[in-house]
Amino acid sequence: MTQTSHNGAPAGRRVVITGIGALTPIGTGVEGLWAGLKRRESAVRTISRFDPSPFRSHIAAQVDDFEPTDYMDRNRARRTERYAQFALAASRLAIEDAGLDPSAEDPERAGVLMGSALGGVAYGENQFTNYVHKGVRGVDPMLALAVFNGAASCNVAIEYGFSGPNSTNGMSCASGAMAIGEGWRAIRTGEADMIIAGGVEAPLAPLCYGAFAIIRAMSTRNDDPSRASRPFDADRDGFVMAEGASVLVLEELERARARGARIYAEVLGYGTSNDAHHMTAPRPDGTQAGRAMRTAMRTGGVALEDVQVINAHASSTPLNDSTESRAIRAVFGEHTDKLKVSGTKGYHGHSLGATGAIEAAISALSIQRGWVAPTLNLETPGEDCTLDYVTGEGLEMPVRRILSNSFGFGGINAALMFGSVD
């Protein structure tokens, strides 16, 4: 007979979040991120990192206050580029927030799992410019070690000596959520006791940015940047690119309790699927997105009527938002109208592979602090977006169960189920 856990899920070790490290356009660290949410203001602006005039879109959400040497020595900062620096900085913030002493960890029981859509490609783009103008002597000798996705998880592992599970997946806009889900799985099955997990993205270079503008995926509301990302709104016209990183410390519950750790929330379940339909368009009926949600609830032993809040992917694109709405209704049926739905990309933009990890951090904070952030810029929901959205000042409420969705190019779907610790 299959054993079950306290909450009806298949037996396995329980996994909790004990540290959060955030580098986002709305704020840095736990309190910076929370203060940014409470301000209820968008960080989207006209791009200053480069000249966007050749493209239809001119706006993004930038992290403008990042100084690498605040988080690492000058030698390490000199040997890394923005993508790896984000990973190192967010990991340090998370470890400090968790009150961990890395030197006291069993290195083989500690791992690093990250996600990123583009890795260090933006840095490679800049180096190609150097090559064109200066020849091979103008190229950074560390280029080969900077551009691959694994630079995120490997640099963090080297920094702290963690030799347990290690990878950086490249599954588009679901990759940060998938890294957290795989971290949950590694601890739950006993492969590790502690995992540093999250998402990192530093895509703001002309060609990386322009690639998405060329396929008309991004908003062209250039004259009103702060209102450009408008999830579920009838006037949404595309996503707004962003950069950022979010890293969580995941630990086995009893280990966390034994060391007196503050616990934000429990990772209850995880689901992933693929639409097997199209590289950029979601499957119209949303069935596979729905299956990821059902799997997250099933593996977490959570009945659908116990879910209170959906942290939606809510990318502000015409197709995604309507498909996600359809999928939620198909999954939750009559319970749908009791759900509160929040999409936070109006705040921080869409940082591709990092966004699911940022939203995981926001979900954990919602549980710990009893407040659900509003969906900014949602004025009139689209006719195909019929859910009960959190708007205005946000919603003060005890949050015990929250489902967070992340969907990406290639038809990849991921869902994470979070809960308060009993």
Active site residue 173: yes
Give the CA radius of gyration of the chain. Answer: 20
- Annotated active-site residue in 154, 173, 208, 385: 173
| Catalytic positions, written as ranges | 173
